[in-house]
Amino acid sequence: MSDIYLAGGCFWGLQRLMQSLKGVSDTVCGYANGNSRQKATYESVCRGDTGFRETVKVEYDSEKISLEAILFAFFSVIDPTVKNRQGNDVGSQYQTGIYYVDDKSKETALRVAEIEKKKHHRFEVEIKPLSCFYEAEEYHQYYLDKNPRGYCHIPQEEIEKISRMVFDPAAYFKIDEKRIEKLYGPPV
């Protein structure tokens, strides 16, 4: 199993999206990468002075889903051009981010981010190593399952559409140029 930590605004909707992806085995809402030495709580994070981000820990089986697919799903539901905000949620705790735990994840996150940066005039997504993570309170875990009409900045229709996606970028490979030339002749 592998882990990636994603901050995409309010963690309720992002957790629901991630748990809907085939190959994701577990998700946990929490608070990542703050500057406080005290354990983060919802109340302390909402003050806006701790540096913590509402974050979802995503545990996945890389044999069933690639980190690329997870990150493309992530980017499809966030606005990467804004800082400290997603939807109606405003504050430093809603800053978007990708927090990695190893060099391979870092490399993948940076590569996908470069693709996404080309689509936007601004790019405000943090990409950093995970420095700390505290699990959120129990009532935040799977909140939208417990409260189906609860607020979410990610529309349920969007979550359903993305969860049905079968495209996994890691499953595709570039065909060898020599093989293409052998099959179809030299380029014109």
Beta strand residue intervals within the chain, DSSP E: 2-7, 24-32, 53-60, 85-86, 89-90, 97-100, 126-129, 133-135
The model's pLDDT over 136-169, given as tens digits with 9 standing for 90+, comes to: 999 899 888 888 887 888 888 888 888 887 555 5
Phi, psi of 155 (to 5 degrees): -60, 140
pLDDT at 14: 94
Look up the domain containing 155 and give its range.
Answer: 2-184
| pLDDT under 70: residue ranges of the chain | 166-176, 179-180, 187-188
pLDDT at 168: 58
Let me know if 10 is a catalytic residue: yes
Total structural domains in the chain? 1
Please state whether beta strands 85-86 and 89-90 pair in parallel, antiparallel, or not at all (unpaired): antiparallel
pLDDT at 53: 96
The model's pLDDT over 1-20, given as tens digits with 9 standing for 90+, comes to: 999 999 999 998 999 999 99
Residue 23: CATH number of its domain: 3.30.1060.10
pLDDT at 180: 67
Which one of the listed residues 10, 29, 46, 152 is annotated catalytic?
10
